[in-house]
Amino acid sequence: MPSSLDAYLTSALEGAASGRPIADAIRHLCTAAVKVRNTIIEGGTSGDLGGQRGETNSDGDIQKELDVLADKAFLKAAKDSGFAFFGSEEQEGPVRLSEDGDLAIAIDPLDGSSNISTNVSIGTIFSILPVSAEQKANPDTVFRQKGANQLAAGFFTYGPQLHLVLTVGDGTHVFLFSPKFGGFVEQTASVSIEPRAKEFSANMSNYRHWDTHIRNYIDDLLAGAEGPREREFGMRYVGSLVADAYRILTRGGVFLYPGDERKGYQKGRLRLMYEANPVAMLVEQAGGAASDGTRRILDIEPESLHERVPFVFGSKREVERIARYIADSD
Ligand code: AHG
Ligand code: MN
Ligand code: MN
Ligand code: MN
């Protein structure tokens, strides 16, 4: 019988500051994730979960049925967890939930919305942050904390399997939702990212918009054994961050979503607070690296809940090499 998530939470968080509230929060998040997963499997209420709702969120994304349904499910989980604030891709700004809590959650309720109607893996990404007394008095500062402050981070993937990939600061762990074993059970005790990447992951249709140093880096990968890298590289790109991140955690590789020349894409597509920060913590805890090309993601001081950041993560040596390509070109 594999060990349960409950047993892990008790052992990992016992005695830790905010340990119990974080453990309780993760249990509530799991309840919401199972609800979302069941809705996906059963085809939801309106039939087409990928259907557009006519509104856009504050980041300019068109909201899909499942975006809004997931946002509601995780807002309830955050309330049940006693969080002080909820910061979501699908909400304009911080939502104050309680005066007492001293934790906040930044969340991407449904990641990979463009894949909802194609039956490709999608997910939910979350970041749990401390909230000081001063921040409670000034809610906008709650989601202007750098990623190094995170107390826990994780994502759920709704794919052939429902996984929870989680860190509370003691390594990265994978849990599988298995009704046979009564819930989430440990699948991988401590993920370790392969330091030598054999694959890269990028939306190559944006190639012509990237800066020359990124194009040079990609060109050298594509040149394979005849090029300066003297070996072949594969390419995988799902278009759901959670799916690309889970693959890299399990078999190495490097992901790039660079900024580019297009209006609105100078800082790329991905959001710092509820996509890059949580994935960066998970990747670093698994021995990998995560940057904006040159700066460590977890050191970046955010200015707003929805700000975007160019995002590079995965096998440590590859992330460091990309920084050298950028430095060499300056
Ligand atoms: P979301 O569905 O939460 O808005 O996130 C989508 C993100 C991320 O999942 C993925 O890595 C990226 O968008 C894909 O962007 P492109 O479609 O531009 O490649
Ligand atoms: Mn979106
Ligand atoms: Mn997303
Ligand atoms: Mn989303």
Residue 329 has a pLDDT of 66
3-state secondary structure 41-70: HHCCCCCCCCCEEEEECCCCCEEEHHHHHH
| 38 to 42, 72, 206: CA distances (angstroms) | 6, 15, 35
d(CA 148, CA 169): 10
Answer yes or no: 328 catalytic: no
Q: Which residues line ligand 1 (CB under 6 A)?
A: 61, 89, 108, 111-114, 203, 239-241, 269
Digit-coded pLDDT (tens) for 166-198? 999 999 999 999 999 999 999 999 999 999 999
Instruction: State the number of CA atoms in the 13 A half-sphere of 67 facing the CB.
Output: 23
Ligand nearest to the CA of 245: 1
CA distance 131 to 68: 26
Q: Is the pLDDT of residue 75 over 90?
A: yes
Query: How does pLDDT run across 307-324, given as a tens digit for each residue?
Result: 999 999 999 999 999 999
* pLDDT interval class at 106 (50, 70, 90): very high
Residues 26-53 have a mean pLDDT of 85
The pLDDT of residue 63 is 87
The rounded distance, in Å, linking the Cα atoms of 48 and 52 is 9
SS3 37: helix
pLDDT digits (tens, 9 = 90+) for 262-271: 989 999 999 9
Q: For 148-172, what is each residue's pLDDT tens digit?
A: 999 999 999 999 999 999 999 999 9
CA–centroid distance, 90 to ligand 4, in Å, is: 7
What percentage of the chain carries pLDDT values higher than 70?
Answer: 98
> Cα–Cα distance between 238 and 81 in angstroms, integer?
32
113-154 pLDDT, tens digit each: 999 889 999 999 999 999 999 999 999 899 999 999 999 999
Is the per-residue pLDDT at 46 higher than 70? no
Kindly report the average pLDDT of the chain as a whole number.
94
Out of 65, 71, 111, 284, the active site residue is: 111
The bridge status of strand 183-188 relative to strand 162-167 is: unpaired
> Whose alpha carbon is nearest atom 3 of ligand 1?
111
Atom number, ligand 1, closest to the C-alpha of residue 61? 4
Query: Is position 90 annotated as part of the catalytic site?
Result: yes
The predicted pLDDT at position 44 comes to 63
From 56, 57, 63, 241, the mutation candidate for ligand 1 (largest count of ligand atoms within 8 A of CB) is 241
- State how beta strands 311-314 and 289-291 pair: antiparallel
User: What's the half-sphere exposure (Cβ side, CA atoms, 13 Å) at 27?
Assistant: 17
According to the model, what pLDDT value does residue 57 have? 86
pLDDT grade, residue 287 (50/70/90)? very high
Query: What is the rounded distance in angstroms from the CA atom of residue 218 to the CA atom of residue 250?
Result: 22
